[in-house]
Structure 1
Amino acid sequence: MGPLQERARSPDDVIVANVQQRKLHISEVLAAKECFLVCTTFTIVPVRSVNDEPIADRKTGLTTLALHYMLDNDMLPPPVGVYSSRHIQVPYGYMTGMRSQLV
């Protein structure tokens, strides 16, 4: 499945059994099928190697791509006139002092 097909894939297709936040031993990372970091700057970034030791085949995995695209799509505001309980309009002009951006 290529990147374009992955972008169109439904978030319901992403199978994640569970999510944990814990310390990892380097051997767990190197034995992983795929590895990625989640951060606010790049949302999801694939990790292809650690200390020049490859993780799997050094390619971005399907779960990494699917989660990346799912987060990207989730951040998009709904079309004008469509209400979404997940998206709240934020008056950035007020928060940043740029009064010209206030509506």
Structure 2
Amino acid sequence: MKKLLIASLILALPSFAFAAGDAVAGKAKAAVCAACHGADGISAVPIYPNLKGQKEAYLVSSLKAYKSGQRKGGMSAIMTPQATALSDQNMANIAAYYASLK
């Protein structure tokens, strides 16, 4: 019985660890992102990644890594201050918005 309970908890943890965001709220919050990543999530500059259609969990994970200082190098000098200004809910909303773009 204990093994079944533990297995159930392990399988349920990922769903608790990642709360889906609100794409509508994310669109409004992502306006500042458009300067580098494009108005539609497709960057016109090769050094900036496209965000359109990216997986929601990946975007949240990336933003949290910038905010915590775990992600360094590349564009971290630009992204760290941007991510630091975002709450976890804002990150989830922005990620939901870009993930919703197909």
Structure 1 length-normalised TM: 0.27
Higher relative contact order (CA 8 A, sep 6+): 2
Higher helix share: 2
